[in-house]
């Protein structure tokens, strides 16, 4: 029987834009996602999150559901434009009150809040008037926003995440253009990534100095899929390493090792911005834990330059900068996102992170399975999702047994929700949402988590 320690953190996660709705009431300003969703052909079926699942008006019901399912932690994000409608300047007191109410409701139900400051929904005014993450001043704007959050919520919130998946912001938002703000470039992603790291570091420095008395922890969450060498040829082994460094090393190396990976500096030249000596000092050691979002695995091989590309951006950066080809094993089960189910890849990634970054405390802040859930007789029997969670948590347990300091696990997601460019066509939640009635219906996976958390394993 698999058992986790009594202090292992069992949580589930959401993000503000995907669930809150209430996009233009009580003083909230528009975000880049509010605008992006109005452009034809950007979101599947023309969906948007103007109402989403209306968590804004139903947060008490949602917290009660969390409580009933046994989760001890809940990771959610704050909408920057809900508490600072223009991204800077005036504070919206009604937005502050909403998050105060949510935090208080969580604590009253013995659920620990884990708060992400930025999960992609940049205030639209900052994008239109200040060029968003392309402007170096964004680090100061983000620091000021973080200060508002620390001041109003830090007496009760003791677990902070500055940024969610800066890779996605950089590559999908400013490289491929499939996410807001929808820009396409082979150089902007690296500048955006640079500013994201500086924004993170400034916010952490503020917390560690001005708000040290709050006695919390603060870190960043990066996403990464495992890259397994396709063969034991040296060039394929090197390609897999290179793919990982262009993916997670891009953001983790500066924080843990003090600068960008050498392979990125060598290959990108002047397209990769340089940190000053003072910036390196500010960034290094600026995370109390390693936040990791992980879903899948692919084989990596040296690109033979025959012109065949497996994915334009799927290997963690811009393909032509890496010379890496990615493939999947045809025997691997696939999710509705066509992400392969490869539990051993989760273990290998945890091991790689632990060895490269001197065995930090790690929290898996997202892991989950998208499937075509069907409601039958009032129930959802999501057996494939159950198998996924069971197998990936077995890999997590193996990592802990082998000395990796994995401290917690957050299932993505608490609810079916607006899944960005895929709209409402993809279901990730352990609770089914009937989008006509907005009824919340626990799936089999939710009941499994309840028993697993109760028994500290299964």
Which one-letter DSSP state was computed for residue 30? P
In angstroms, rounded to a whole number, what is the distance separating the alpha carbons of residues 444 and 59? 22
Annotated binding site for substrate: 18, 119, 164, 295, 412, 419-420
* Three-state secondary structure call for residue 276: coil
Q: Is 195 buried (19+), middle (13-18) or exposed (0-12) by CB count in 10 A?
A: buried
Specify which residues 431 forms β-bridges with. Answer: 442
Any catalytic annotation for residue 129? no
371 and 389 Cβ atoms separated by less than 8 Å = no
Structure tokens at 78: 């704050």
Q: Which position among 20, 143, 165, 228 bears the catalytic label?
A: 165
Q: Which position among 188, 228, 279, 366 bears the catalytic label?
A: 366
Whether the link from the prior residue into 413 is cis, omega within 30° of 0, is yes
In angstroms, rounded to a whole number, what is the distance separating the alpha carbons of residues 245 and 382? 35
Integer-rounded Cα radius of gyration of the chain: 21
396 and 365 Cβ atoms separated by less than 8 Å = no
In angstroms, rounded to a whole number, what is the distance separating the alpha carbons of residues 228 and 244? 10
How distant is the alpha carbon of residue 392 from its chain centre?
17
Specify which residues 218 forms β-bridges with. Answer: 160
Any catalytic annotation for residue 94? no
Which residues are known catalytic residues? 165, 366
């Amino acid at each position: 029987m698999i058992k986790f320690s009594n202090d292992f953190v069992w949580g589930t996660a959401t993000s503000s834009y995907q669930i809150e709705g209430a996009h233009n009431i009580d003083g909230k300003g528009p975000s880049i996602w509010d605008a992006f969703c109005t452009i034809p052909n950007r979101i599947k079926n023309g969906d948007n999150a103007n109402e989403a699942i209306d968590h804004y008006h139903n947060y008490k019901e949602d917290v009660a559901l969390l409580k009933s399912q046994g989760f001890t932690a809940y990771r959610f994000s704050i909408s920057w434009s809900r508490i600072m409608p223009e991204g800077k300047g005036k504070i919206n007191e009604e937005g502050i009150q909403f998050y105060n109410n949510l935090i208080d409701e969580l604590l009253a139900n013995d659920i620990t809040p884990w708060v992400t400051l930025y999960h992609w929904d940049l205030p639209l005014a900052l994008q239109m008037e200040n060029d968003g993450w392309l402007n170096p001043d964004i680090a100061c704007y983000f620091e000021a926003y973080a200060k508002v959050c620390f001041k109003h919520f830090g007496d009760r919130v003791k677990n902070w995440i500055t940024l969610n998946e800066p890779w996605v912001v950089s590559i999908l938002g400013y490289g491929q253009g499939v996410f807001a703000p929808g820009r396409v470039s082979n150089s902007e992603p690296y500048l955006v990534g640079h500013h994201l790291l500086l924004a993170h570091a400034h916010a952490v420095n503020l917390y560690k100095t001005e708000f040290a008395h709050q006695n919390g922890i603060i870190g960043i969450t990066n996403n990464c899929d495992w890259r397994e060498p396709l063969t034991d040829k040296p060039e394929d082994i090197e390609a897999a390493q290179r793919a990982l460094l262009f993916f997670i090393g891009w953001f983790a190396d500066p924080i843990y090792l003090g600068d960008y990976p050498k392979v990125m500096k060598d290959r990108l030249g002047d397209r990769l911005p340089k940190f000053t000596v003072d910036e390196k000092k500010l960034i290094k050691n600026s995370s109390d834990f390693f936040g990791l979002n992980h879903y899948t695995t692919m084989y990596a091989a040296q690109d033979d330059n025959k012109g065949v590309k497996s994915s334009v951006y799927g290997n963690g950066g811009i393909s032509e900068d890496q010379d890496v080809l990615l493939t999947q094993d045809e025997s691997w089960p696939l999710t509705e996102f066509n992400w392969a189910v490869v539990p051993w890849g989760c273990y290998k990634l945890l091991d790689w992170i632990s060895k490269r970054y001197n065995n930090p405390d790690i929290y898996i802040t997202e892991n989950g399975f998208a499937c075509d859930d069907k409601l039958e007789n009032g129930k959802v029997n999501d057996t494939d999702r159950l198998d996924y969670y069971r197998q990936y948590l077995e890999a997590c347990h193996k990592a802990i047994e082998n000395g990796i300091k994995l401290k917690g696990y957050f299932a993505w997601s608490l609810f079916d929700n607006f899944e960005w460019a895929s709209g409402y066509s993809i279901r990730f939640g352990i609770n089914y949402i009937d989008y006509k009635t907005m009824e919340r219906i626990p799936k089999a996976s939710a009941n499994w988590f309840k028993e697993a958390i109760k028994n500290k394993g299964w």
